[in-house]
Chain A
Amino acid sequence: MIELANVSFRYGSSVVPDAARPDPANPSVDGAAGLAGDSPGLGPLVLDHVSLAVGAGEVVVLCGASGCGKTTVTRLVNGLIGTGRQGVREGAVRVDGLDPGVEPTARIARHAGSVFQDPRTQFFTTDVASELAFGCENFALPPAEIRRRVSGVTEDWELEGILGRSVFALSGGQKQRVICAAVDAMDTRALVLDEPSANLDAPATAQLADLIRRWQEQGKAILIAEHRLAYLAPLADRFIRLEAGRVTHRLTATRLRALGPAKLADLGLRPVDGEATEPDIAPAARLAAPADAPGCQDADPEDAGCQGAGGRDAGLGGIELRNVSYWRPHRAGRKYGRQVIGIGQLDLRQGQIAALTGPNGAGKTTLLRLIAGVAPGGRGEMRVNGQLWRRRRRLLGVALVGQDVNQQLFADTVRGELTLANRRLSDLEVDAILGSFGLADLGSRHPLALSAGERQRLAIAAAFAQDRPVVALDEPTSGLDLGHMRQVAAGIRQLGAAGRTVLVATHDQELVAACAERVITLQDGLLTS
């Protein structure tokens, strides 16, 4: 159903001469001639003779480090990259017998549904019900049929409660569920998913796995580019690992598992077993697991206890929260808003790295924004090193690395980003920080020209440079591969080692295992552990 035969690809610009463009309709051009050397006006070779086939009822997972070409493959298949100005393709791509390089994208959409990583920008309409119908409406299906399909997916995906809601009132995980349901309603024979789980918590990921299994049973061909492999291991037929645009491994789930965690890590792949499906993990039990987590060795298992455990440290520094609560501003027609956060007591030792976990919509982001002083309207007390910090003080004393780093990088060079964070830094200090966050060679680059992992590390480095006693990080590893995740974890451990008290909100159990000394679980705004 989805086939790639000897596909090579370079991204290009509009200056590519016509002669250099292979004619995708003419198979005689297939071969190595056009793309072998460095062609003028074209980028580096992103895919190098990639072949793969996904048959009906098969699930094939593309894995490998960021930048290995996974996303390019998915975009060649769903037709987002054509063959014109966007780049030059060699080899054949077929979806249900059609060539996505030639057919209009909207026509390919009838054969291959797509789910992307960022749920915020996948909605075309502004309310859930319209979004579910949107794809079917574009296929010009009769309204009765659309209604039938919409009510079908509403039931399957348990969306009754949010059907009339505005898209802007949904959490990230809810949005991704709606998108999956909307693609489900389009009922295409092939599906292309690009890191669909990046913003999902464990239950939502399990639900995604169920959906993929259902699609598989319906005989659809499913191609998934993904870093998180654990939830796919039980259902994938094949894992294809790419490195620098080449296929290096083709493995069944059993053989992938047989490689063992160490070998997987060597290949830059995240673990295949367990973690994503376990709702809660005991951090102390996990600390020994990753070989590259030296910062964790000094963790005191007693500190892994829950609220109140840090009480004996009071006065020694760190954060003390007392009776912190937050009500969502009340809306017309309701006398009181909903309580989002209600925390009686929470203490963190100075230099402690605490992971804040809990399902989508539990209030993790709200808590971090309250602590960082950017969200107005919270109640209660926060003390840092024994001093009462009101909101204005927190704004100056807590460094916040928010969910979307693209909104947080302001300078025009990487070095500039650090000096902007702290003007007192000397050149030597800047070099030292860049070195310790693995950014030494990138000092003169533009922050937005970096890879996702590098940007994330730069945002953490800037928080480090700010020299504030408390650092709050919100989902720092969503969508990062194993290598980048580990670099971020190393960066977070640096913060802790430098005596900063760190609070990390995350769904990423592998990150928790790699850096957290303590796990705090939030459920409906209340501490559960």
Chain B
Amino acid sequence: MPVSPGLAYTGQPNLWLDPRAKLALFIVVNIVGLAAPFSGPGAVVRIAATALVAVLLAGEQAWWMAASAVAATACGMAGYAWLQPTGWTLVASGLINLLARFWPVIAMGCYVLSTTTVSEFIAALRRMRVPTAFTIPFAVVMRFLPTLAQESAGISEALRSRGLRLGVARPGAWLEYRLVPLAMRAVAIGDELTAAALTRGLDRDTERTSLARVGFGELDWAVVAAAVAVFIAWLAARLITP
């Protein structure tokens, strides 16, 4: 199934991975993507991390996302090598740098959210002994955000259809027509989701079982090993770089 640039689960992935393996890789991609340099030994680590992200995305046939993550990294390196940070190129190289750092991380985030169900997340967090007081609100947020995004899209559409244009010039109007209705809907959605969860027997204090599949296979160990290797390489690159 495709990976969408949105925040929600999009369907059964081609390649199933344990959520914990995905989280481990996500953390390493975050560190390397944001912190590793674009030249020297650190750049090799950056290329390795981007390649991992691209391979996972390509495995889900998310060609555009995979290609854009690779392209962003390549642009970042090219920009670092050829753009002199003076005058207007300073702004350009700054923007390219920012995009090149963040885009692979965002792509990885989309991959994790698009391929993991809420139940898998909850089950994985429980295995990691994370308390219910954290996992349940976390699950609610995972359900709430895409719903709120849908609401927001609906409100935009209604605004456009009504011919209400909200420029940057009118922050008051933006607040009144955009944010207030969205906030009202957010409250209502929160109430309704809570009601749905309670009447389906969700309770903080009771034990629950789970059908969600969690468990490490060879592939998961391989992903974790790759993540750890990239992380160690990043540490090593930092040490040997003057």
> Across the interface, do B143 and A125 meet the contact criterion of CB distance under 8 Å?
yes
> Across the interface, do A395 and B161 meet the contact criterion of CB distance under 8 Å?
yes
Q: Contact string, B195-220, partner A, CB cutoff 8 A, digits 1/0?
A: 11111111100111111100000000
Question: Which segment, of A221-229, A315-323, A403-411, faces chain B?
Answer: A403-411
Question: Which segment, of A19-27, A133-141, A235-243, faces chain B?
Answer: A133-141
> Across the interface, do A140 and B192 meet the contact criterion of CB distance under 8 Å?
no
Q: Indicate whether A78 reaches chain B with its CB closer than 8 angstroms.
A: yes
Q: Indicate whether A527 reaches chain B with its CB closer than 8 angstroms.
A: no
**Chain B residues positioned under 8 Å from A129 (CB to CB):** 117, 211
> Across the interface, do A137 and B185 meet the contact criterion of CB distance under 8 Å?
no
User: Bound complex: CA of A55 vs CA of B112, how far in Å?
Assistant: 48
**Chain B residues positioned under 8 Å from A142 (CB to CB):** 209
User: Bound complex: CA of A400 vs CA of B207, how far in Å?
Assistant: 48
In the complex, which residue of chain A has the Cβ closest to the Cβ of B58? Answer: A332
**Chain A residues positioned under 8 Å from B63 (CB to CB):** 332
Assess A332 versus B163: contact at CB under 8 Å? Given A106-B202, A138-B208, A402-B158. no
> Across the interface, do A138 and B203 meet the contact criterion of CB distance under 8 Å?
yes
User: Bound complex: CA of A127 vs CA of B160, how far in Å?
Assistant: 31
Segment 162-214 of B: residues with Cβ below 8 Å from A = 162-164, 176-177, 181, 184-185, 188-189, 192-193, 195-203, 206-212
Q: Contact string, A418-449, partner B, CB cutoff 8 A, digits 1/0?
A: 00110000000000000000000000000010
B189 → A minimal CB distance (Å): 6
> Across the interface, do B184 and A126 meet the contact criterion of CB distance under 8 Å?
no
B144 → A minimal CB distance (Å): 10
User: Bound complex: CA of A435 vs CA of B64, how far in Å?
Assistant: 54
User: Bound complex: CA of A402 vs CA of B161, how far in Å?
Assistant: 10
User: Bound complex: CA of A79 vs CA of B195, how far in Å?
Assistant: 10
Q: Indicate whether B84 reaches chain A with its CB closer than 8 angstroms.
A: no
> Across the interface, do A332 and B199 meet the contact criterion of CB distance under 8 Å?
no
Segment 1-26 of B: residues with Cβ below 8 Å from A = 1-3, 8-12
Choose from A109, A141, A166 the contact partner of B9 (Cβ within 8 Å).
A166
> Across the interface, do A407 and B185 meet the contact criterion of CB distance under 8 Å?
yes
A511 → B minimal CB distance (Å): 21
> Across the interface, do B195 and A164 meet the contact criterion of CB distance under 8 Å?
no
User: Bound complex: CA of A147 vs CA of B163, how far in Å?
Assistant: 51
Choose from A130, A140, A186, A398 the contact partner of B212 (Cβ within 8 Å).
A130
Q: Indicate whether B150 reaches chain A with its CB closer than 8 angstroms.
A: yes
User: Bound complex: CA of A79 vs CA of B203, how far in Å?
Assistant: 13
Q: Indicate whether B62 reaches chain A with its CB closer than 8 angstroms.
A: yes
Q: Indicate whether B135 reaches chain A with its CB closer than 8 angstroms.
A: no
In the complex, which residue of chain A has the Cβ closest to the Cβ of B60? Answer: A332
User: Bound complex: CA of A113 vs CA of B200, how far in Å?
Assistant: 7
Q: Indicate whether B55 reaches chain A with its CB closer than 8 angstroms.
A: no
Assess A169 versus B118: contact at CB under 8 Å? Given A138-B201, A140-B208. no
> Across the interface, do B146 and A126 meet the contact criterion of CB distance under 8 Å?
yes
> Across the interface, do A332 and B143 meet the contact criterion of CB distance under 8 Å?
no
In the complex, which residue of chain B has the Cβ closest to the Cβ of A410? Answer: B177
User: Bound complex: CA of A105 vs CA of B199, how far in Å?
Assistant: 6
A459 → B minimal CB distance (Å): 9
> Across the interface, do B158 and A408 meet the contact criterion of CB distance under 8 Å?
yes
> Across the interface, do B185 and A135 meet the contact criterion of CB distance under 8 Å?
no
User: Bound complex: CA of A129 vs CA of B9, how far in Å?
Assistant: 12
Q: Indicate whether A246 reaches chain B with its CB closer than 8 angstroms.
A: no
Choose from B10, B117, B160, B164 the contact partner of A130 (Cβ within 8 Å).
B117
**Chain A residues positioned under 8 Å from B192 (CB to CB):** 116, 118, 121-122
Q: Contact string, A258-272, partner B, CB cutoff 8 A, digits 1/0?
A: 000000000000000
In the complex, which residue of chain A has the Cβ closest to the Cβ of B149? Answer: A168
User: Bound complex: CA of A126 vs CA of B10, how far in Å?
Assistant: 9
In the complex, which residue of chain A has the Cβ closest to the Cβ of B61? Answer: A333
**Chain A residues positioned under 8 Å from B142 (CB to CB):** 126
> Across the interface, do A138 and B202 meet the contact criterion of CB distance under 8 Å?
yes
> Across the interface, do A124 and B62 meet the contact criterion of CB distance under 8 Å?
no
> Across the interface, do A127 and B211 meet the contact criterion of CB distance under 8 Å?
no
B95 → A minimal CB distance (Å): 27
> Across the interface, do A104 and B211 meet the contact criterion of CB distance under 8 Å?
no
> Across the interface, do B157 and A402 meet the contact criterion of CB distance under 8 Å?
yes
Assess A409 versus B181: contact at CB under 8 Å? Given A126-B142, A402-B154. yes
> Across the interface, do A396 and B11 meet the contact criterion of CB distance under 8 Å?
no
Assess A104 versus B203: contact at CB under 8 Å? Given A137-B208, A140-B209, A141-B209. yes
Q: Indicate whether B68 reaches chain A with its CB closer than 8 angstroms.
A: no
Q: Indicate whether A276 reaches chain B with its CB closer than 8 angstroms.
A: no
User: Bound complex: CA of A426 vs CA of B212, how far in Å?
Assistant: 61
> Across the interface, do A407 and B200 meet the contact criterion of CB distance under 8 Å?
no
User: Bound complex: CA of A133 vs CA of B122, how far in Å?
Assistant: 13
A-B contact pairs, 29 of them (CB 8 A): A78-B199, A79-B199, A80-B198, A80-B199, A106-B202, A112-B199, A116-B195, A121-B189, A124-B200, A124-B202, A126-B117, A127-B119, A130-B118, A130-B119, A133-B211, A135-B201, A147-B211, A164-B1, A164-B11, A168-B10, A168-B150, A182-B200, A186-B200, A369-B157, A395-B163, A402-B158, A408-B162, A420-B164, A466-B162
Other 14 A-B pairs with CB < 8 A, given A78-B199, A122-B196: A79-B198, A116-B192, A121-B192, A125-B139, A127-B11, A129-B117, A130-B120, A133-B211, A138-B200, A138-B203, A138-B206, A143-B211, A395-B161, A466-B162
List of 3 A-B pairs having minimum Cβ-Cβ separation, nearest first: A106-B203, A121-B192, A138-B201
> Which residues from chain B sit less than 8 Å from chain A, CB to CB?
1-3, 8-12, 60-64, 117-120, 139-140, 142-143, 146-147, 150-151, 154-155, 157-164, 176-177, 181, 184-185, 188-189, 192-193, 195-203, 206-212
> Which residues from chain A sit less than 8 Å from chain B, CB to CB?
78-80, 104-110, 112-114, 116, 118, 120-127, 129-130, 133-143, 146-147, 150, 164-169, 182-183, 186, 331-333, 369, 372-374, 395-396, 398-400, 402, 404, 406-410, 412, 420-421, 448, 462, 466
